[in-house]
């Protein structure tokens, strides 16, 4: 891999997500050479992928070119590559475009979908971890309605059934967005179909939604979904899915052509590390983000398993943790280079939130908890300012404003037809 050498220590960052991005930004003018590797040439704002999947936004509203983010940063280099293995003994990274040596390695590869060993679910279910997957889901949803127009009544039901497995923020927000499509958009698009037959189910194996949030938020989210006509199925576990039928462990069955899987994640672990460095599918790191067993390898974000006195079971896998760890690690790398003792990370939990459609959201900010329209505006504001790039903020704000006042979605396009493998 061709990356110019210089006299500065080289920091290689694998992954252009929230953690890797904030680390690289924070190393600006810090006398390091920074090399970022990612299989895509853009950063994705993952919290809004569900809006791409439900025709609320186009993908270029939530994606931003990595090279453009760092176009004025000296000693920064980006290479689009897939990392295959890390040779920790020789401090060399093996990729599909060649090898690269490092002085400090930071792994920020995030997570991928966890199917918990269910092969049928893995083969046939729709996921939503990347822009491509969100576009595939959007295409499939719209294709289903096109097919429903030509189907008999029995087949129509399976095309218009949308079970979502997972009652966390992703599942809840996706269900709310689909319900708004059903209530405000699809009846006009498909006057020949009885859209009231469309069913949306949220399937959660635990006894409440939004388990990581407060009881107030969980109960209010449940109430909002029911108001929108979503069928919430708690204490339900999936046994299998064959592309046409969802089977629960209780033996019950649900006819559906589309299973949306938002139930769990696992780390994108890279080959080359001993089992002692990995726990629960993540890299075990100390409070300085250093990977167990190594002096010059670090991990941040969802891929890092870090425990603190306040989070004895590990920090939550959310964007604010990755942002803060990336910024903090930059300070520690400077200290390590200067032969100073690194500091210990402490997560500043600023709260959590989820939206369940127009004027419906839940927000937990410490002891302050509120729901409804105010929470919805707070959710929109936080997500707008968190987007990368002024253009993306303007386009997203315009789209949200248009959707709000017109009760419409402007991105109902089947750009590329989705076909199951």
Q: Which residues are catalytic?
A: 173
DSSP state letter for 269? P
Which residues are CB-neighbours of 106 under 8 A, at least 6 positions away?
A: 11, 12, 13, 14, 20, 23, 289, 297, 298, 299, 300, 329
Strand 32-38, strand 111-113: pairing = unpaired
On whether the CB atoms of residues 233 and 223 are closer than 8 A, the answer is: no
Instruction: Measure the N-to-C terminal CA separation of the chain; round to a whole number of Å.
Output: 33
Q: Which of 226, 213, 206, 232 is nearest to 360 (CA)?
A: 226
On whether the CB atoms of residues 256 and 162 are closer than 8 A, the answer is: yes
Cα–Cα distance between 333 and 82 in angstroms, integer? 25
Cα–Cα distance between 406 and 180 in angstroms, integer? 12
On whether the CB atoms of residues 104 and 35 are closer than 8 A, the answer is: no
Q: How many CA atoms lie within 13 A of 55 on its CB side?
A: 23
Q: Return the ∠ at Cα 316 (arms to 311 and 320), rounded to 5°.
A: 115
Q: Which two structure tokens, joined as six digits, stand for 259?
A: 């299973």
Q: Which of 334, 370, 365 is nearest to 350 (CA)?
A: 365
Q: Which two structure tokens, joined as six digits, stand for 233?
A: 């199925």
Cα–Cα distance between 4 and 10 in angstroms, integer? 11
Q: Which two structure tokens, joined as six digits, stand for 348?
A: 């500043």
Q: Crossing angle for the helix pair 169-180 and 215-227, nearest 10 degrees?
A: 20
Helix (H, G, I), strand (E, B) or coil at 28: coil
């Amino acid at each position: 891999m061709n990356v110019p050498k210089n006299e500065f220590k080289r920091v290689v960052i694998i992954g252009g997500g929230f953690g890797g991005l904030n680390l690289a930004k924070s190393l600006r003018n810090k006398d390091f050479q920074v090399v970022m590797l990612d299989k895509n040439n853009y950063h994705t704002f993952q919290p809004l992928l569900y809006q791409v999947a439900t025709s609320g936004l186009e993908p270029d509203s939530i994606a931003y070119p990595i090279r453009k983010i760092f176009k004025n940063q000296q000693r920064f280099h980006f290479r689009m590559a897939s990392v295959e293995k890390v040779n920790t003994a020789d401090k060399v990274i093996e990729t599909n475009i060649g090898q690269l040596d490092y002085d400090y390695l930071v792994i920020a590869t995030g997570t991928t979908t966890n199917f918990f060993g269910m092969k049928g679910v893995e083969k046939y279910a729709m996921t939503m971890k990347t822009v491509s997957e969100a576009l595939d889901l959007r295409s499939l949803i719209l294709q289903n309605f096109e097919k429903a127009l030509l189907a008999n009544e029995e087949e129509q039901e399976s095309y218009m059934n949308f079970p979502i497995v997972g009652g966390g923020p992703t599942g809840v927000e996706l269900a709310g967005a689909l319900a708004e499509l059903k209530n405000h958009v699809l009846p006009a698009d498909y006057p020949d179909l009885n859209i009231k037959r469309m069913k949306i189910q949220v399937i959660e194996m635990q006894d409440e939604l939004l388990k990581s949030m407060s009881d107030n938020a969980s109960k209010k989210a449940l109430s909002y979904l029911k108001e929108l006509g979503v069928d919430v199925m708690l204490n339900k576990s999936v046994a299998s899915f064959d592309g046409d039928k969802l089977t629960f462990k209780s033996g019950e069955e649900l006819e559906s052509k589309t299973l949306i899987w938002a139930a769990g994640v696992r780390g994108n672990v890279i080959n080359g590390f001993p089992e002692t460095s990995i726990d629960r599918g993540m890299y075990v790191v100390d409070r300085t983000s250093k990977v167990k067993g190594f002096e010059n390898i670090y991990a941040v974000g969802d891929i890092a398993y870090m425990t603190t006195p306040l989070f004895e079971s590990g920090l939550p896998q959310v964007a604010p943790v990755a942002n803060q760890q990336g910024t903090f690690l930059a300070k520690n790398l400077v200290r390590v280079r200067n032969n100073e003792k690194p500091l210990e990370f402490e997560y500043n939990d600023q709260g959590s939130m989820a939206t369940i459609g127009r004027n419906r959201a839940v927000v937990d900010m410490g002891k302050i908890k509120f729901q409804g329209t105010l929470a919805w505006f707070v959710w929109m504001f936080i997500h707008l300012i968190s987007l990368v790039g002024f253009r993306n903020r303007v386009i997203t704000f315009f789209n949200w404003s248009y959707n709000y006042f017109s009760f419409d979605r402007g991105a109902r396009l089947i750009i590329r037809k989705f076909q199951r493998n």
